[in-house]
Amino acid sequence: MHALFQRKRAAVSVPTQLLQSNIPVIDGAELAALYYSQRQGGDFHDFFRISPSRIIFGLLDVAGRVDQARSVISAAQQVFRTLSSELFAVEEVNEAEAMTQIAVHLNRSILGAEVAVHACPAFAACYNEAVGTICYFNAGHTPGLLRDGNGITELPATGLPLGLFSHATHDAPTVALPSDAALLLISRGVVEGKCNNEEFGLERAKQILLAPGRSAQEVCAAILDQVQQFMCARPIHNDVSALALVRAAAAKVATAS
């Protein structure tokens, strides 16, 4: 099964102007992203370290086929990387204000990239390695799934999808990612995978996330594996992507340090 999963850097359909998303090394946590090998639409993920204690990452779903969305994706990545680096250059930055500004400028870049309207649900977040928190915005994206000792919490939309309205605003709440917790982001293609008119849905993704002891890579692989098993076919209806941030258990963190 794992031969069906490829990282973005290995996909021939990705525009050459996109920068590679090399997985950053994170103290006490790990980050991974996988998508099903057959690219259909405008799913795009990116992650990189922006300061000694912060990692920024995101999953975007630009409307349209991959060839139609290329210029939009490229423009969005340029803004995402450049502005994030500028805003988080100071360690004492207000994370919520910075993430809100990123949402505003991502929205403008998508609106300005093409004449046609490209709705772009997006989930972007900043992980603070020092304190174990995630400051995020969810622009009309599939809810993020946060697993901790109390179960699973959905992180719903904090605003409209990007690329629709020039003056759209987004809140940027902060949540804790305690030891042995995990955040899972999945694309619409995961949720909408169907078998006999029944969708894969969020609940099946939650059950996968609840399974203990999985690395971030294993969580993503399990999602894609289960979608294909559920559909009994290769998912070709839409892009099928998963991104996970998993924090190590307290014992492992203490041992590593």
Q: For the segment 41-63, what is each residue's pLDDT rounded down to a tens digit?
A: 567 889 999 999 999 999 998 87
Sign, CA torsion 6/11/13/17: positive
Show me where the domains of the chain are located.
2-249
Closest CA to 153 of 171, 167, 168, 173: 173
Q: How many CB atoms lie within 10 A of CB 58?
A: 25
Cα(243)–Cα(57) distance, integer angstroms: 9
Q: pLDDT digit string (tens) for 223-247?
A: 999 988 888 766 665 678 899 999 9
Q: pLDDT value at position 112? A: 84
With a cut of 70, list the residues of the chain below it in pLDDT.
1-21, 37-42, 64-68, 114-117, 233-238, 251-257
What kind of fold does domain 2-249 have according to CATH? Answer: Phosphatase 2c; domain 1 (3.60.40)
- Kindly write down the DSSP assignment for every residue of 15-48, as one continuous string: -TTSPP-PPPPBTTEEEEEEEESS--SEEEEEEE
Q: pLDDT value at position 240? A: 83
- Within the chain, strands assigned E span 5-6, 29-36, 42-51, 54-62, 122-128, 133-139, 144-148, 151-155, 174-176, 182-186, 194-195, 198-199, 241-247
Q: pLDDT value at position 15? A: 37
Q: pLDDT value at position 251? A: 53
